[in-house]
Amino acid sequence: MNDMWQTMLFAFVISLVVCLVIGPLLIPALQRLKFGQSIRSDGPERHLQKQGTPTMGGVMFFFSLILGTVFLAGDSFMTYFLLVCALGFGLIGFIDDYIKIVKKRSLGLTAKQKIIGQFALSIAVSVAAVYMLDVSTEVMVPVLGWSLDFGVLYIPFLIFLLVGTTNAVNLTDGLDGLASGVTLIVALGYTLIGVLQAQPAVVVFGAALAGSCLGFLVFNHHPAKVFMGDTGSLLLGGAVAALAIMTKTELLLPLIGIVYVAEVISDIIQVGVYKWKKVRVFKMAPLHHHFELCGWSETKVVRVFWAATAIAVLLTLLCYSLTLGNIPM
């Protein structure tokens, strides 16, 4: 157990240091290349001053996750699965950012192209999870300890989980330090679950993800020097979903990722109700913008969402412990 804690610490520190080293080199390079963020004109007025802030900073996650994971997690299918999920979705985001910023096509990949890419990757990694990693098709019901065998529906379930999570994290990335801070806390939660399960690959990858997020947060906290772009947000979403799959805590993901869920639900409600009744439920969606327009400062919104995530992680660990206690022996 002591060795696992040491390995976890090493993975965290290595990924943190890699980001701290790469950040000061990457940000000026992005500025020279004029890889600046475009700000939507219909958003909160205070965001207009962020126009031109370097984006695609999520590129540093590629380096920090690989260096923080590969040498410590060992050569295993699980390690590769976790990395492929994260880096694969990150690559989709990178292509989208590249088209938007370098090719000057404002929308990047079309919605159809992006969703096809996400579904194709999700299908591939879901099939690999079941047939190469022998991930059980049974899903544990939190607290009760029951297991539900999804059978042939498990792969479609994983595809929904992967696509949903990556897009949810992408929606959350709308304020300085929000997505990186929330995912840092979520990653720490999954790292602790990995320790409880004695899964070295999960522990190392979770710690490396947390260290990467903290390192990026140094440059992304308000006022942000760099944004992660879709490169970073899709990568983080893929990483979180992969951790949920490898720890068999799929049904706890909506709890530990409560902020991601709230962001998505607020967006769905806003669009749905407006199309139906021509009424806006929120001042603006997703949810973080609603609170901004209610008068909260950007840093207040971010800190409240961080606190909500920390509480959700504690509740998740409690639910997981209760679940273990109720599993029939």
**pLDDT exceeding 70 applies to what percent of the chain?**
91
Q: Residue 140 pairs with which residues in a beta bridge?
A: 147
pLDDT at 185 over 70: yes
Residue 51: phi and psi, rounded to 5, are -50, 130
Report residue 280 as tokens: 């806006």
pTM, full prediction: 0.94
Distances (CA, A) of 306 to 61, 108, 180, 182, 311: 20, 30, 10, 5, 9
Is the omega angle on the peptide bond into residue 223 within 30 degrees of 0, that is, cis? Answer: yes
Distances (CA, A) of 63 to 58, 126, 142: 10, 24, 35
Do 246 and 199 form a contact (C-beta atoms < 8 A)?
yes
Per-residue pLDDT, 166: 97
Buried b (16+ CB within 10 A) or exposed e, 86-105: bbbbbbbbbbbbbbbbeeee
Q: Report d(CA 131, CA 216) in Å as an integer.
A: 35
Q: Which residue has the higher pLDDT, 54 or 180?
A: 180
pLDDT-derived band at 37 (thresholds 50, 70, 90) equals: low
pLDDT at 218 over 90: yes
Q: Once rounded to an integer, what is the mean pLDDT over residues 78-107?
A: 88
Q: Report d(CA 100, CA 97) in Å as an integer.
A: 5
Per-residue pLDDT, 310: 98
CA dihedral (159, 120, 172, 225) in degrees, to 10, reads: 150
pLDDT tens digits, residue range 272-315? 998 988 889 889 989 999 999 999 999 999 999 999 999 999 99
pLDDT tens digits, residue range 138-173? 999 998 878 899 999 999 999 999 999 999 999 999
pLDDT-derived band at 329 (thresholds 50, 70, 90) equals: very low
Greatest extent of the chain over all pairs of C-alpha atoms, in Å: 61
